[in-house]
Amino acid sequence: MALRGGIDLGGTKIESVVVDGDGAVVGQARHPTPHDGGPPAVINALAGGLREAAKAAGVETAELTGVGVGSPGEIDDGTVAHARNLPDWDDTFPLASALSEQVGAPVKVANDVGAAVDAEAKLGAGKDYGSFLGVWWGTGVGGAVVIGGERWLGRGAAGEIGHTVVKIGGATCECGRRGCLEAYAGRGAMERKARKAVAGGTKTDLFDLMEKHGRQRLTSGIWGRALDRNDKLAEKLIHRAVVALGAGIGSVVNLLDVEAVVIGGGLGTRFGQPYVEKIEQQMMKHLFVPERPPAVLPAALGDLGGAIGASLLVG
């Protein structure tokens, strides 16, 4: 039986799976993404996670027919550069060859959100639609567009809904520009805003919860717990994110008139249907043709969608 590996390399966690010929998950492992040590530390963590997933499936990693990795940053022929959500990863690093050496199987690398959206198109929430927009709401805000059943890549950089402008001269984004959707809705930007508010005297349970649960960052789970407690700052920042997402998504729908919008990513998956509906309500305010809105749906493959999608790279 031909088994394949798939890894979703995120800014917060590394999700690894081993899948069989039908795409069914037969082994999995989840680990936090290293905070320091640069690319070598990340490669070690990827190899460790894959070994654990392979062990759960009863095989060695060298027996896998191939391993796909969904990675942030700029991907070119197995190398990754400018992965801002990974530790000290700005220069070009040969992820595929370095990981292949450790696990003894061929490795292919693709954009993380693209891999997850491909999986939703083939197996998940997008499979009944010829065209849809995927919005991956997590550490950053990623996106991908499927048109005629195929992902629209442009000249290689298409789909970056996180860097569409929702406010002229607005908040500063990680990319160095102003007013980007990600500067309002990215979990990284939300955490920076929360830290500023606390420094200015605002009360919140966010950072107590973070420490109590042994986290170094405000993860999607921590934001969720703060909302469960009706934490005012968390509610305010999540609402601000939802409003910005509605504006960004509405603009894309006006331009492309896609049949559906699929919301995934760490926050999207954690918050699920109720927040998908809130985003939909905000989007509706901006639609030029509101009588024929797209379906707005949560991603169907959940936390493992990115890793399953990555495994399709070597299918």
Site residues, Zn ion (CB under 5 A): 163, 173, 175, 177, 180
**Cβ pair 18, 26 in contact under 8 A:** yes
User: Minimal CA–CA distance to 143: which of 123, 167, 126?
Assistant: 126
Helix (H, G, I), strand (E, B) or coil at 74: strand
In the complex with Zn ion, which residue's Cβ is closer, 56 or 175? Answer: 175
Tokens linked to 218 = 């405000």
Beta bridge partners of 79: 76
90's CB contacts (< 8 A; 6+ apart) are: 81, 82, 83, 84
CB of 184 to Zn ion, least distance (A): 10
Across 113-270, the runs of DSSP E, i.e. the strands, are 132-137, 141-147, 150-152, 260-264
Residue 165 DSSP symbol: B
How far separated are the first and last CA of the chain, in Å rounded? 13
**Alpha carbons 271 and 294: distance in angstroms, whole number:** 20
**Cβ pair 277, 314 in contact under 8 A:** no
**Alpha carbons 191 and 84: distance in angstroms, whole number:** 16
Identity (one letter) of the amino acid at 34? P
In the complex with Zn ion, which residue's Cβ is closer, 118 or 174? Answer: 174
CB of 180 to Zn ion, least distance (A): 3
CB of 172 to Zn ion, least distance (A): 9
In the complex with Zn ion, which residue's Cβ is closer, 175 or 233? Answer: 175
CB of 49 to Zn ion, least distance (A): 29
CB of 151 to Zn ion, least distance (A): 21
**Cβ pair 189, 174 in contact under 8 A:** yes
CB of 35 to Zn ion, least distance (A): 23
Tokens linked to 71 = 């990675």
In the complex with Zn ion, which residue's Cβ is closer, 59 or 175? Answer: 175
CB of 175 to Zn ion, least distance (A): 3
In the complex with Zn ion, which residue's Cβ is closer, 180 or 299? Answer: 180
